[in-house]
Structure 1
Amino acid sequence: MTIPRALVGGAVAALAVLTGGCAATQEPVEAPGWSVAELVAQVDAVAAPQVRWTPCAEQVVPDTECAAIEVPLDYTDPNGRQLALAVVRQPARDPERRIGTLFTAAGGPGGSGVDWAARGEMFPGELGDRFDVVTFDQRGIGGSSGVRCFPDRVRALQLSSLLDPVSYTSDTLAGIHATAVGTGEVFGEFLRLCAGARACALGAGGAPADELGARDTALLDRAKTAAIPVGAEPETVSVGYGELVQAHAMPLYDPATGWPALAVLLAELERGSAGSPAVVREILSAVATTGDFLDLFVAISCADNTLPRRPDLRPELAAESATSAPLFGPFWLYLRRPCAVWPAPGPGYPQRR
């Protein structure tokens, strides 16, 4: 089983970044003393970096080209310290019909574009046929240092997994609530389509969606009391409540591979000692988040959010979020639990305003 690729999906933009200049600076776009026009002029005064593409190492990113480019840390000092950006390109599959380059950024926050490309074809269909697809490791991620690009320097734009920037930065609880409700709605659709579907391991017996939901709730209730064992000793694997909730949320991003994997996991949990521990381990491994990703997720999201800096309020906030999203409200909230003690400035960082 492959890791569901949509888990790393994020905003996608066709930008004139590497060829038209991408400003890497410690100041926000609306930095005191500089207008946007002045900042753009600083970038235009610096020659665009020359990109020398070479085949990526096969074990890293197969069938793609890689490069490392340098841009100034401070565009007012173009000969000063430089930042290295790790970049990868998936050439257009139909070069005769190629019309340009699509620059794409992995989401998360904290996702690596290079890691995303390493998992396989980034964009199938018309986009991958007619565009070279280029992605990179963003500021502080993977092989790159900090990077900031100006949004008025865009020729064409395509967005997916779009977040509301207002609620994300100024009303994080509302944003978490919306995410949790949306996740619940997607899970409901998963159950509806699974019901009676021969290709769905959980619903192949013909049970209706409400019965599948009741069976799922029973598994979750069991896991709250004690981890659910799958398989016979000595190969038994036990799945705890936290693992099970995450295994509900993450596969929902990817209907093609994630939804079938979730159905198989739930079916194996129901089988208990007769289930396959190897299959369960594989699925849990595919939906797990790495320590490196979580470190970056915490550092970025805690700098951006407006959650109360009081750890004692977390149970109360979780209970409130569970009123409309019983399973996913607390899950999305507690992903940000380190933010309760994160040493961010009281009024927030400048880039949030």
Structure 2
Amino acid sequence: MHTVVRSAGALGLTVLLLTAATGCQADEPSAAEPAPTSPATGTGTATGTATGASAAATVLATQHLDWHACAAPTTAQGAGTAPAADWQCATLKVPLDYGKPDGATIDLALIRTPAKDEQQRIGSLLFNFGGPGASGVVGLPAFAANYASLNTRYDLVSFDPRGVGASATVTCLDDRAMDAATASDGTPDTPDEVKALDDTNAGFAAACEHNSGAVLPYVDTVSAARDMDLMRQVLGDRKLSYFGFSYGTQLGGVYAHLFPQQVGRMVLDSVVDPTKDPQQAALGQAQGFQLALGDFMKACAAQAGAACPTGAGGDEGTAKVAALLQQLDQSPLPTKQGRQLTESLAVTGIAGGLYSQATWPALVGGLTEAMRQGTGDTLLQLADALNGRDPQGHYNNLDAANRAIGCVDARQRYSDQDVQQQLPQFRAASPVFGTFTAWGLTGCTGWPVPGKTAHPEVSAPGAAPILVVGTTGDPATPVEGARTMAQQLGAGVGVGVTLQGEGHGGYNTGNACLKQTVDAYLLDGTVPADGTTCS
């Protein structure tokens, strides 16, 4: 279970844990100007049945949502921080298997806060925060301040996708076993170490099958996209307005492919490249995190001089970090928790510190502790944040859902021999992250459920314009993925916007230009020129 990051990064979780156009008929709204809807009561009527939807799903589209005050979340992300009084929660019933529409249903957890200006209300704006595996029920209240301007005219709505959080939860290892798995050697150097990694992966897969085997075949992205269209109907929206980050861009692209005529105003930020197989995506992430590490070290040297633990940065800094990891592979560092900082946890912690410039100071402190003081407390804290572990030692199901969704989506499986053949390429891409990322490819080997597709299908001819946002310094979803996504969506559909900056999640950086561009699109329907750049 060794991946440096989630399939597309767990947007904002590190920060969170450390701080806690075509014309249409007159009676049909255009995508650039969604028709205002009455405040969502949960009794919206379906406005048509999209491909693959069923009679049973149509019946489910008339269900009533019982919105009520939210309880405090119990997952590791934000545990104990109840949303404010204006946050409402509900449960949506969806088919477990859309291929058997009259069969079993599962419950999806939803959260919303109503639009502040009811007279100017556009409708619902649905959020997905990535992972896959990030809880929207936890994430939306945590980051809602970033979307205050959008909340004037939209109900902000998010959800735990199937398999995630409180929605048909995928459960695998217990907390003690998760501690052992996240700390275990993810860069095997000997046959015995390779076998140990294989055994760790096999144990994780077996636990998932034992605890959640009934839902594992049905947590795929296509099913989640169908859930979103059912959600749209129940919320009473003619078109889907959507803001997806990281893996949420893949989910949004798949939705646009399945339901192009239902796309309203859609923003895809920090974009997963839909054309890359898992090996290509992992290599791209190794390169992306190495680029972000270089930018971090350059800034550290400029600000701290000789006090910077990575020196002048560049090759010198990379060598220092690589030497630290090599040392940890043999001799883990102690922490105040009594746990040890292993090489795997250190790589995860360094990656976690690169998701946002807001966590760069913590990364400076963590590397200083490890390199100069011989302790691993801050890097361990960064790793725990990315792994979904709270200070009490409880894990959310981020890793379990991430593995389950990724493995049922992608049909590719990689052997130890495949990885060993690719190691030189990965190490060339990143002396720090390459080996760890390459061995992460074995995470789906032996998974109890076969993968469904070679890559996600996102072509969406006839859909309204979709904003596709990429950030030049994004470590988890390199900017090239946004350009590819825009092309794959189709001419006149994908509208590329580039932020010249650092971090994963461009809109959430607060960049004024990007915020103005996205807000004008979502609030007023103003589509920017393709190729717009903000800095």
> Separation in 2 of the partners of 1:21 and 1:335?
42
Q: Deviations over 1:224-283 (max 9, x none)?
A: 33223467xxx7764221111111112222222x2222111112223315x6x6655544
1:123 maps to which of 112, 137, 146 = 146
> Separation in 1 of the partners of 2:326 and 2:455?
42
Q: Which residue of 1 aligns with 2:384?
A: 285
> Separation in 2 of the partners of 1:333 and 1:206?
24
Q: Which residue of 1 aligns with 2:473?
A: none
1:62 equivalenced with 2:83 (yes/no): yes
> Separation in 2 of the partners of 1:178 and 1:348?
22
Q: Which residue of 1 aligns with 2:366?
A: 265
User: Are residues 78 and 325 of structure 1, via their aligned partners in 2, closer, same or farther at CA, if it must alter by over 3 Å?
Assistant: closer
Mapped contact 2:415–2:442 kept (Cα < 8 A):
no
Q: Deviations over 1:68-101 (max 9, x none)?
A: 1224557798776443221011344666765432
Tell me, what secondary structure is at the counterpart of 2:264?
coil
1:301 maps to which of 375, 381, 406 = 406
> Separation in 2 of the partners of 1:228 and 1:71?
47
Superposition map of 1:181-330 within 5 A: 181-197=287-303, 203=308, 208-210=312-314, 212-229=317-334, 238-256=340-358, 258-272=359-373, 279=378, 281-289=380-388, 290=395, 292-330=397-435
Tell me, what secondary structure is at the counterpart of 1:196?
helix
User: Are residues 226 and 307 of structure 1, via their aligned partners in 2, closer, same or farther at CA, if it must alter by over 3 Å?
Assistant: farther
> Separation in 1 of the partners of 2:396 and 2:154?
33
Tell me, what secondary structure is at the counterpart of 1:327?
coil
> Scaled by the length of structure 1, what TM-score is found?
0.73
Residue 434 of structure 2 aligns to which amino acid in structure 1? G
- Percent of aligned pairs with the same residue? 27
> Separation in 2 of the partners of 1:82 and 1:237?
41
User: Are residues 164 and 121 of structure 1, via their aligned partners in 2, closer, same or farther at CA, if it must alter by over 3 Å?
Assistant: same
1:332 maps to which of 437, 447, 454 = 437
User: Are residues 329 and 39 of structure 1, via their aligned partners in 2, closer, same or farther at CA, if it must alter by over 3 Å?
Assistant: same
Q: Which residue of 1 aligns with 2:53?
A: 39
Residue 259 of structure 2 aligns to which amino acid in structure 1? P
> Separation in 1 of the partners of 2:430 and 2:402?
22
1:89 maps to which of 105, 112, 124 = 112
**More deviation, 284-293/315-324:** 284-293
Tell me, what secondary structure is at the counterpart of 1:331?
helix
> Separation in 2 of the partners of 1:61 and 1:104?
19
**More deviation, 56-65/102-111:** 56-65
> Scaled by the length of structure 2, what TM-score is found?
0.51
Mapped contact 2:71–2:83 kept (Cα < 8 A):
yes
Tell me, what secondary structure is at the counterpart of 1:216?
helix
> Separation in 2 of the partners of 1:330 and 1:22?
50
Q: Which residue of 2 aligns with 1:30?
A: none
> Separation in 1 of the partners of 2:57 and 2:338?
58
Residue 113 of structure 1 aligns to which amino acid in structure 2? G
Cα shift at 1:313? 3.0
Tell me, what secondary structure is at the counterpart of 2:166?
coil
Aligned length: 322
Cα shift at 1:339? 1.4
Q: Which residue of 2 aligns with 1:160?
A: 269
User: Are residues 182 and 71 of structure 1, via their aligned partners in 2, closer, same or farther at CA, if it must alter by over 3 Å?
Assistant: same
- If asked which structure has higher relative contact order (CA below 8 Å, sep 6+), I would say 2
> Separation in 1 of the partners of 2:452 and 2:397?
24
> Separation in 2 of the partners of 1:236 and 1:42?
53
Residue 250 of structure 1 aligns to which amino acid in structure 2? G
1:151 equivalenced with 2:255 (yes/no): no
Mapped contact 2:14–2:353 kept (Cα < 8 A):
no
User: Are residues 46 and 219 of structure 1, via their aligned partners in 2, closer, same or farther at CA, if it must alter by over 3 Å?
Assistant: closer
Unaligned runs of 5+ in 1: 8-14, 24-34
> Separation in 1 of the partners of 2:270 and 2:104?
34
